[in-house]
Amino acid sequence: MARWKPGARERLVVAAVDLFFKQGYDATTVAQIADRAGITKSTFFRHFPDKRELLVAGQDTLSRLLVEGIAAAPWDATPLEAVADGLKRASSEMGPMNRKLGPRLKAAVAASAELQERDALKSVGLAAAMTRALIARGVPAPTAHLAAELGVLAFKQGYEKWSEADDGDATGLEQHALTALNEFRSATRALG
């Protein structure tokens, strides 16, 4: 196995999602993931501490992109407009591999309580990063928390629709996420 072949981290994520989808999370070993990715087991552990962490491989990057978008929003933007800019920034970095993995990743998470727990922690982390970015803009904490939670929900719903759309559907992740955010904005008005 060639340890110097580039893209090991991405290959590990794809291999893990494929195996989790096909044989289940519990039945999948680190050795199987490494073998499928074409790397050694020791190389796996240079990238990830355990197989569970593969699910959140891009969380730090996604958090950073959301925060960058919020920070770059015009200063007169409402909290949800700033969140929309965060969604645009994060969506701009999602490519075909992210879209392709979506349905298999969703199925793997649905079939594993451990992965559901890790996915929930990922959502909490994204919301916390967005909340901090909004507070840094001067948004009061309760409003920042609510806007961030709506942003996470919009991203997740947008990603799901985008990844499950037909290959011929040219609607990008950004549009799906912004549509979801607008739907949530309207829903909050109905709360009274």
* CATH, residue 28: 1.10.10.60
| Domain span holding position 33 | 8-54
The verdict on residue 64 lying in a domain is: yes
Residue 3 has pLDDT above 90, yes or no: no
In this predicted model, which residue has the larger pLDDT, 170 or 123?
123
Q: Is 71 exposed, middle or buried (0-12, 13-18, 19+ CB in 10 A)?
A: middle
Of all residues in the chain, what percent carry a pLDDT higher than 90? 62
95 and 14 part of one domain: no
Query: Is there a contact between 162 and 99 (Cβ–Cβ < 8 Å)?
Result: yes
29 and 105 part of one domain: no
172 and 77 part of one domain: yes
Residue 79 has pLDDT above 90, yes or no: yes
Q: What is the pLDDT of residue 180?
A: 97
180 and 113 part of one domain: yes
Residue 68 has pLDDT above 60, yes or no: yes
pTM attached to this predicted model: 0.85
Q: What is the pLDDT of residue 4?
A: 54
Query: Is there a contact between 118 and 56 (Cβ–Cβ < 8 Å)?
Result: yes
Q: What is the pLDDT of residue 191?
A: 86
The verdict on residue 3 lying in a domain is: no
Say how far apart CA 136 and CA 68 lie, in whole Å. Answer: 12
State how many domains the chain has: 2
Q: How confident is the model at residue 2 (pLDDT cuts 50, 70, 90)?
A: very low
30 and 102 part of one domain: no
21 and 78 part of one domain: no
Q: Among 134, 133, 132, 184, which residue's Cα sits nearest to residue 158?
A: 184
